[in-house]
Structure 1
Amino acid sequence: MRSEQALDQWEAKTYRVQGLTCPNCAATFERNVKSLPGVKEAKVNFGAAKLTVWGEATIDELEQAGAFEQLTIREERERTVRPEPFWKRKENRNVYVAAALLAIGWTASAAGSGRLAVAAYVAAIVIGGYSLFRAGFRNLIRWQFDMNTLMTIAVLGAAAIGEWQEGAVVVILFAISEALERYSMENARWSIASLMEMAPDEATIRRGAEEVTVPVEDVRVGDVMIVKPGGKIAMDGIVISGASTVNEAAITGESLPVEKAPGAAVFAGTLNGEGFLEVEVTKRADETTVAKMIDLVEEAQAERAPSQAFVDRFARYYTPFIIAVALLIAVVPPLVMDGAWLDWVYRGLAVLVIGCPCALVISTPVAIVTAIGNAARRGVLIKGGAHLEQIGRLRAVALDKTGTLTKGKPAVTDVIVYEGTREQLLAIAAAIEKRSQHPLASAIVRRAEEEGTPFLDVPVGEFQSLTGQGVKAVVGSETYYIGSPALLTGLIGELPGEAEQQIAVFRSEGKTVMAVGTANRLLGLVAAADPLRPSAPDTIAALRRLGVAEIAMVTGDHRQTAQAIGRQAGVSDVRAGLLPEEKLAAIRELKQRCGITAMVGDGVNDAPALAAADVGVAMGGAGTDTALETADVVLMADDLRQLPYTIHLGRRTLAIVKQNIAIALGFKVLALVAAVPGWLTLWLAVFADMGATLLVTLNSMRLLRVKG
């Protein structure tokens, strides 16, 4: 592909492609589009059935480039239509006519009318194999050997040696196989494409004194959207008036409704309950969370998994090998062993038919597409087949404490004052922490607000975050420090004995302790508790049942506090008091000792550790652009239970990919063995190839049933 700099001057346009069933066909289609006069570059995403074009091309030109497979091109944002039942499809009419002609041929043959039978078989071959021959001859001229080329040679060879009935059966079975394969792939893709149906096409907007209904593309950031009871929310936004419950299962996979009040975020595609809401729109239609989900998942389907790369390399050598074997079977025995030419040519043609690599080539992508689609519908974004395979091979999991094993919403439980008054201590602490994004800072601010402490007017200057330790700022003319007791110990030397005892008590209770003071004295202690998620113990137990060998907690919190949380959660390997670079070292040690390792965090903090892990997993990605963009896996709901589901899905996917490869190769090997003594007929070869393709597809569909 050309460099991104060279393509920047050209507009990229993305389309949806209907009828794309085979990776080889996708590659051929991509080459055809690239050869169009106005096209500078093109890229086909087989998994998502999408085409991106740099340059200029009309839909008619693109459909002409895909005419060899009768591909249909649609605009990217055009609503997807659910695939029609197999028997209703227009493209299958030729198959029905060919099958009827084959039946006529059989009847005529049984009645002794040989000429009528041959005429019926020829008509069945021509009508049923029209699209096959068109693609096959084109490829043959270009010296390209794909399944259409192999099948065309096989059918023409059967006709040449007078096996008209066999040729007709081969054409019909191949056409049925292609139609079923197309139908199965479109149904697999539907699980993603149907996500587009979640968000409404129109939104009701208040403009001035009027309420108007407009297409979502015309809604502007800052507009006020009206959401009536029972209605779907059309855009991402912030509630500014009203209260209700919203079912966010479409985004997060969580079926329980979430309460919404002024200040709460809502997402496009979610379902409002019984309340009336006014929502200020915060994102355009193409930037909503559901739009990003769809884009990320479809990009993920374009990523090639390691197993798929292996299969593609294998298929590159496999097809020429099969052609060579078929040629040797057809030619060598008659020349060397005085065998009958017609007999051995027939066997060679049968080997050629069974050599179609379709089932093998599709064995991995169909499983990956299905698994990623299933995960997305359950609120888990997996950004590619490579990450899915890594998840399936996980041997160790490292979990952050705050916001992962705990709820991430700590509350202040105790305030101990050693100098001054409680109100003064809270006012200074809240005024400083108001400028911090840390959850513990928010807890202090909330407590000050609850107690009515006047902190907003406290003058604060020179605020500075001290990585892994706390914060400092100037209040009035004096510098204050808020952070871990170790921070104050480093400033003033030993803390008073009474304070040390109190800190030990708080930590034994699983509380996090913050010290407030200046460079030479301790003013007080603030203790906060971040309760353990109720699902944490069950999640840890589930991970062990899945065979995760090592589960560790990595946190910057004090060891006593972390160990108390670890005991409650069932995590024995607790690594506490870690700075960001120490968390990174912990991940590297786990990878070296255990193998493939995942790091689970909030997607914003702990970036080095998330990046260093084989799989970075972000919690609560709904509405968090950073998590959506940086993590390999995003658990959209703030629900730890999605983690075991994701690992289970990865392991099932790995198993099914291996089964698919075994099925595809197993059928080929059996058929090749049967070809040597002459047991393999042409129609049985097609039936075996069709059976392998359908089994691989249906086996992959089992991944849709994997649940949390």
Structure 2
Amino acid sequence: MAEERKKEECCSGHQCGSEHTHAGKILTVLEPAAAEPESAGILSSQAVVYRVTGMDCSSCAKSLEKHMQTLPAVKEVNVNFSTGKMQLVADGLGEDAVVKEVAKAGYSAMLLTRGTAKAVPKTDQAGTALTTISGVLLALGFLGSLLPSISPLVVTVLYALSIMSGGYRPARSAFYSIKSGSLDMNVLMSVAAVGAALIGEWLEGATVVWLFSIGTLLQTKSIEKTRDSIRNLMDLAPPEAWVKEGESLSRKPVEDIAVGQVIVVKPGEKIPLDGVIVHGTSSVNQAPITGESIPVDKLVGDSVFAGSVNESGAVEIKVTKLVEDTAIARIIHLVEEAQEKKAPTQAFVDKFATIYTPIVLVLALLVIVFPPLLGLGTWGEWFYRALELLVVACPCALVISTPVAIVSAIGNAARNGVLIKGGTFLEKAGAITAIAFDKTGTLTEGKPQVAAVIEMEGSEDEVVSIARTIEERSSHPIAQAILTYAKQKQIASQSGQDFKAIVGKGASAVIGTETFYAGKPALFQELGVDLSAWQMKIESLQSEGNTLVVIGTATKLIGMIAVADTIREITVSAIGKLKAAGIEDIVMLTGDNEGTAKKVASQTGVNRYFAELLPQDKVEAVKRLQQEGKVVAMVGDGINDAPALASADLGIAMGGAGTDTAMETADIVLMADNLEKLPHTMKVSRKALSIIKQNIWFSIIVKLVALVLIFPGYLTLWLAVLSDTGAALLVILNSMRLLRMKD
């Protein structure tokens, strides 16, 4: 109770509510751009959003962005590779015109509106067909070259047709890339293919084009699969609902249903919109939203979320959120926004790539010119090696190594009821060495329960019966705990009258002809009752974190009821899993006394605790852990613990599914109000960091090996292409392992 009062003081002293954020400072949630510098690429609400397919590398996104910027009508444009979206602010540029311009650059676009948000882009059948034709022509040309009866001219024509069919789209994209001042993989591959043809290496040129086409298709499909891991969440909520109007039911699209209307959901159906149950009871599976594996019983007045499944009884639900404002819609929006934010590693790799590619291009020109001048070989030999160098120059695998892993990890977490706000926070979570927990409502239920009943003169039933009679009219949490206990034990109340509340001390009632009291020990001291015989017992119970309700009259004690907060069922196992995951320090921060803190610490398995803390003391405790060299995560409710959450390296809020503020304030949000998914979050984050490192090192080593093999003449042009596209594909597949990672 002391801790709760201190939390209330925190709110009044630190402006709790929607003004807390997690950038280490206090900002309003209405200014996300200020709170998150990473999101600067996200345009204003005036932007029209298109879904773009066919981008298999972040350089593709940059090329498309530059191409769109060359159009006079375009005011602002932001193309994001991770989510496959293009945000556009343009005057007088219609949807058809935008789609055509995107197609010129080699990609497909579809306008996203409320009605098409769930639509899935069509498969790139044209690209698949051209790649297939190119492969067939390449095979025919190769077989023809083995037969003496086939003219070399026919073989050359077959190779040329293979290059033209497979290279049409890359060449078109290369043209618009050069026009917009970009040098992407399409440009390098086109130059390599044309160069191979110019020096008579038609088989090499055709093989380069076909391998590049195959690699591009596979990469695109793999990346779309990672993006769909979040988009598929949209399909969880049904598109229509049964609306109750009077006594009649009518089927309506969810887009046409307003706040305040009543919808009916039958057993086995998915709940279409967020709302509150106004009639009926049921068991609801909330796993898609909160990650909870066990269905939750829902009664009248309880909130339900779109996308969850009504498993038993029919219920009537009063709609509280429009379709675009539901919890699942907010989750999808925040996750996709998070996937657009670059992690520090990704930002570094992108900067490295922008320097690396021009350097290798200059090196390729030097390779063409200087060795032949120095008499170290023919112009043809070094021109061929320069082409190989151009192919190797594209750092596609390196650039793609981080964003796909981040998208996959954030997507996995979201499907398990954890919202990670961006790549930066994913990386931080993977580096955490200490976790600090608020006690009340985080490690404990935050709801007092009867821990013990001590009889002095009466029986247990008599003590509880009198306490229930006195407390029945009170809404105080401790009174409610006693009433709940009495109901569970089936102990009835007695006939009472003249009920009175004694402010700050307890309550009284006349039962029969005698006045009975229920309250603090101090109340009975004021009444003149001798407590000396029970003083040691009272102090012992209080030191263990119990709040005592003494029952008696003005002359004698009948008994005492000890009430205490209880440990959450999941807390002990969650802390055990965190330790197993390698978290060095599990720390508890509480405003309660030393005795209570020690008891809870021993019951939960935390390593250390800081007791009797005011809100500002919790901040100091977090800083103390940081001074010890720890990377600290703070877990709280996202509002009351805001000062400590902001001071920590990572702020984790609980119960975000029902709280808009919690979803806005923390770096990571556990959608369910328990710690069950926190160990999984740590595991996913650490695995993501490991995979990112694997991808980066693998990409660099492949490039270095390819570069070394060029100059002795061991590397052929088609092997150079295979090393590049193969490395990129392996990096993507390695990152996609995060999608399948389970608890």
Q: TM-score, normalised by structure 2?
A: 0.83
Which residue, out of 374, 382, 394, partners 1:356?
394
Where does 1:242-261 land on structure 2 (aligned, <5 Å)?
A: 242-261=280-299
- Which residue of the partner structure matches residue 368 of structure 1? 406
Which residue is equivalent to 2:239? 201
Separation in structure 2 between the aligned mates of residue 513 and residue 325 of structure 1, nearest angstrom: 81
State the alpha-carbon separation in 1 of the partners of residues 371 and 531 from structure 2: 98
1:180 counterpart = 2:218: yes
Residue 246 of structure 1 aligns to a residue whose secondary structure is strand
Indicate which of 90, 93, 98 corresponds to 2:126. 90
Partner amino acid for 2:365?
Answer: L
For 2:100 and 2:94, how far apart are their aligned partners in 1? Answer: 10
1:62 and 2:101 aligned: no
Stretches of structure 1 that go unaligned for 5 or more consecutive residues are 434-438, 464-470, 476-481, 517-523
Distance in 2 between residues matched to 1:577 and 1:483, nearest whole Å: 24
Output one character per residue of 1:36-90: Cα deviation in whole Å (capped at 9) or x when no partner.
44443232332222222335442222223322122222324425456888xx833
Distance 1:369 1:501, change over 3 A: same
CA–CA distance in structure 2, aligned partners of residues 411 and 252 of structure 1: 26
Residue 442 of structure 1 and its aligned partner are, at CA, apart by 7.1
Q: Which residue of structure 2 aligns with residue 225 of structure 1?
A: 263
Structure-to-structure mapping, 1:394-473, within 5 angstroms: 394-413=432-451, 426=471, 430=474, 433=476
Which letter maps to 1:320?
P
Partner of 1:702: 737
Is residue 2:687 matched to residue 1:652? yes
Deviation at 1:10, TM superposition (A): 7.0
In structure 2, C-alpha distance between the alignment counterparts of 1:441 and 1:371, rounded to whole Å = 46
Question: Could you tell me which amino acid in structure 2 is paired with residue 264 of structure 1?
Answer: D
Deviations 1:457-508 (A, max 9, x none): 99999x9xxxxxxx999x9xxxxxx9999x99xx9xxx97678645533245
Query: 1:235 touches 1:267 (CA, 8 Å); kept in 2?
Result: yes
Opposite residue 587 of structure 1, the aligned amino acid is: V
Partner Cα distance (1:163, 1:483) in 2:
96
Number of equivalenced pairs:
672
Partner residue in 1 for 2:19: none
Structure 2: distance between partners of 1:682 and 1:391:
42
How far apart are the structure 2 equivalents of 1:631 and 1:19?
Answer: 34
2-structure distance, mates of 1:611, 1:458: 46
- Give the number of the structure with larger relative contact order, counting CA–CA contacts within 8 Å between residues 6 or more apart: 2
SS of the aligned residue for 1:640 comes to coil
Structure 2 equivalent of residue 536 of structure 1? 571
Match of 2:110 among 66, 73, 82: 73
Question: CA offset at residue 594 of structure 1?
Answer: 3.1
1:191 match: 229
RMSD: 3.7
Paired residues of 2:276 and 2:303 also in contact (CA < 8 A): yes
TM-superposition CA deviations, 1:611-648 (whole Å, max 9, x none): 11111111222212121111111111233221111101
1:319 matched residue in structure 2: 357
Residues 395, 594 of structure 1: 8 Å contact kept: no
Residue 668 (structure 1) aligns with: 703
User: What percentage of aligned pairs have identical amino acids?
Assistant: 46
SS at match of 1:129: helix
Query: Relative to structure 1, is the Cα distance of residues 535 and 10 closer, same or farther in structure 2, using a 3 angstrom cutoff?
Result: closer
Amino acid of the structure 2 residue aligned with 1:643: L
**Residue 686 in 1 paired to residue 724 in 2?**
no
Q: 2:146 aligns to what?
A: 110
> Counterpart of 1:606 in structure 2: which amino acid?
D
1:288-303 equivalences in 2 (<5 Å): 288-303=326-341
Aligned partner of residue 233 in structure 2, secondary structure: helix
1:12, distance to aligned residue in structure 2 (A): 3.2
SS of structure 2 residue aligned to 1:594:
coil
How far does the alpha carbon of each residue in 1:555-578 deviate from its partner, in whole angstroms, 9 at most, with x for none? 112221121111011113111111
Which residue identity is paired with 2:411?
G
Aligned to 2:37: none
**TM-score normalized by the length of structure 1:** 0.86
C-alpha deviation, 1:688, in angstroms? 0.4
Secondary structure at the counterpart of residue 52 of structure 2: strand
2:665 — aligned with what?
630
Change (3 A) 1:385 1:340: same
* CA 1:426–1:34: 2 relative to 1, 3 Å: farther
Deviations 1:282-327 (A, max 9, x none): 1111111101110110011011101101101110111011112222
Letter in 2 for 1:345: F
Q: Contact (CA 8 Å) 1:227, 1:277: kept in 2 or not? A: yes
Q: Secondary structure at the match of 2:566?
A: coil
1:161-190 deviation line (CA, Å, top 9, x unaligned): 111111111011111111111000000111
Work out whether 1:608 is the aligned partner of 2:646.
no
Q: Greater shift after overlay, 169-178 or 633-642?
A: 633-642
Which residue in 1 is equivalent to 2:462?
Answer: none
Query: 1 CA distance for matches of 2:479 and 2:202?
Result: 82
Secondary structure of the structure 2 residue equivalent to 1:93: helix
Q: How far apart are the structure 1 equivalents of 2:302 and 2:73?
A: 48
Check conservation: 1:417, 1:425, Cα contact below 8 A: no
SS in 2 for 1:407: strand
How much has 1:209 moved relative to structure 2? 2.1
Structure 2 distance, partners of 1:295, 1:156, is: 44
Name the CA distance, whole Å, in 1 between partners of 2:78 and 2:701. 33
After superposition, the Cα gap between the structure-2 partners of 1:440 and 1:549, relative to the gap in structure 1 and judged at 3 Å, is farther
Note the alpha carbon deviations across 1:95-118, whole angstroms, 9 max, x for none: 111111111211222224210011
Take 2:157 and 2:698, find their aligned partners in 1: how far apart are those partners? 37
Letter of the 1:110 counterpart: L
**AA in 2 matched with 1:72:** A
SS at match of 2:447: coil
8 Å contact from structure 1 (residues 10, 55) kept in 2: no
Partner Cα distance (2:640, 2:484) in 1: 22
1:579 pairs, out of 604, 607, 614, with 614
Deviation at 1:377, TM superposition (A): 0.7
- 2:5 alignment partner in structure 1: none
In 2, distance between residues paired with 1:607 and 1:15? 37
Pair 1:45-2:80 in alignment: yes
For 1:484 and 1:332, how far apart are their aligned partners in 2?
Answer: 94
Moved more, 393-402 or 19-28: 19-28
Q: Which letter maps to 1:157?
A: G
| Per-residue deviation, residues 19-45 of structure 1 (Å, max 9, x unmatched) | 232212212223333444444323233
User: 1:162/1:460 Cα in 2 relative to 1: closer, same or farther (>3 Å)?
Assistant: farther
| Distance of aligned partners of 1:459 and 1:330 in 2 relative to their CA distance in 1, 3 Å threshold | farther
CA contact (8 A) 1:367 1:653 kept: yes
Residue number in structure 1 paired with 2:604? 569
Aligned partners of 1:117, 1:458: CA distance in 2, in Å? 104
Question: Are positions 1:547 and 2:586 aligned together?
Answer: no
- Cα deviation, residue 349, structure 1: 0.6
One-letter amino acid of the counterpart of residue 377, structure 1: R
Deviation at 1:538, TM superposition (A): 2.4
Deviation at residue 684 of structure 1 after TM alignment: 0.4
In structure 1, C-alpha distance between the alignment counterparts of 2:550 and 2:338, rounded to whole Å: 46
Which letter maps to 2:240?
Answer: E
CA-CA distance at 1:685 after TM superposition:
0.2
**Other-structure match for 1:136:** 174
1:25–1:69 contact (8 Å) kept in structure 2: no
1:229/1:150 Cα in 2 relative to 1: closer, same or farther (>3 Å)? same
- For the residue of structure 1 that corresponds to 2:78, the secondary structure is strand
**Which of 120, 126, 131 is equivalent to 2:164?**
126
- The 10-residue stretch of structure 1 (537-546 or 309-318) with the greater mean CA deviation from structure 2: 537-546
The one-letter amino acid of 2:442's match is T
